[in-house]
Amino acid sequence: MMIRAGVLDVAFDRFGDPSGRSVVLLHGFPYDPRGYDDVARLLAESGYDVVVPYLRGFGPTQFVDTDTMRSGEQAAIGHDLRELIIALELNEPIVAGYDWGGRAACVVAAMWPELISGLVSVSGYLIQDIAAAVSTPVLPHLEKRYWYQYYLHSERAGPGSRPTARSSHRHCGRIGRRPGGTATPNSRLRHPRSTTPTSLTCPCIPTGTATESSRGDAAYAATQELLTRQPRITVPTVVIDPTEDTVASLYGRPDHAAHFTDLIDVGQIDCGHNPPQELPGQFADAVVTLGEAVRDRDSN
């Protein structure tokens, strides 16, 4: 299916009961919606209305105007999700995601909480103060996890991105998987409806040269400025912490509580960077847990 939503024509799959509570499942980089196939089936069987979109730069999703800046900044993907919820006329859906998709979900939860009923976020709070992140290094053992960001946002990646795109994306998928895991890390590479995101790279900052990256898309400048202040998220939230993620750090409940004012649950699960594909049952359970909590509150 396809729908016009803001600056995008968004391709999406939809499963389950259209009259059920809606949930939007948001994939990360370098993955795609196929990683949610089992989660979507489980939630549909539980009576949910499940929407799984291709994010900007992925699969059949296209920019309406060819002149639109191909930005991967957090404000842009947050606006994309906001426009999708409005275009589909979803009634306060749960939004759930990891990596890039988790960041989009966190942005909507922080900026437009009235649009959603709750949030499921892998690794917790994913809104960034980009300037601080760029200028302030973390500990070396953590810094090395983000090698691909330095590569993808440098001039070096430009000439190498096209001929090595498939192997680069596959490698990024592998490093996010828990050691010894058997899940296919990059479903895009095995599904005919998906394509590599050559117009976008990493979710953290806009793509292009260093000068272009620091500028971003002027259309989202006001939102980006507000996100830099890292607003707290007030909607009911379930956090999933993967214990074997080789990309994101593992945090505890006290760290999450500093960013979320309404934590329903914080659960650690034994998987890597892509919980929906590695442990779909547990990811679906997290959504159901949140849905039940929201339902109970609505009935009181």
Scanning the structure block, which residue is given the tokens 């900026």? 111
CB 49 within 8 A of CB 18: yes
Q: Which of 219, 221, 227, 254 is nearest to 239 (CA)?
A: 254
Q: What is the pLDDT of residue 35?
A: 96
Q: What is the dihedral of CA 152, 155, 156, 160, to 10 degrees?
A: 70
Q: What is the pLDDT of residue 148?
A: 63
Residue 209 structural domain: 2-299
What whole-number distance in Å separates Cα of residue 117 and Cα of residue 108? 11
DSSP 68-137: S-----HHHHHHHHHHHHHHTT-SS-EEEESHHHHHHHHHHHHH-GGG-SEEEEETS-----HHHHHHS-
CB 242 within 8 A of CB 249: no
Q: Is the backbone of residue 197 left (phi > 0), alpha (psi -120 to 50) or beta?
A: beta
Q: Tell me the pairing of strands 237-242 and 263-269.
A: parallel
Q: What is the pLDDT of residue 149?
A: 64
Q: Which of 154, 234, 251 is nearest to 201 (CA)?
A: 154
What whole-number distance in Å separates Cα of residue 23 and Cα of residue 103? 16
Low-confidence ranges of the chain (pLDDT < 70): 141-142, 144-215
Q: SS3 for 185?
A: coil
CB 70 within 8 A of CB 200: yes
What stretches of 169-234 adopt beta strand conformation (E)? Answer: none
Give the total number of structural domains in the chain.
1
Q: What is the pLDDT of residue 192?
A: 34
Q: What is the pLDDT of residue 167?
A: 56
CATH of the domain at 126: 3.40.50.1820
Q: SS3 for 6?
A: coil
Q: What is the pLDDT of residue 137?
A: 75
Q: What is the pLDDT of residue 188?
A: 37
Q: What is the pLDDT of residue 235?
A: 98
Q: What is the pLDDT of residue 120?
A: 98
pTM comes to 0.84
Q: 176-189: string of b/e by CB count within 10 Å (b at 16+)?
A: bbbeebebbbbbbb
Q: What is the pLDDT of residue 195?
A: 39
Q: What is the pLDDT of residue 76?
A: 96
What whole-number distance in Å separates Cα of residue 177 and Cα of residue 245? 7
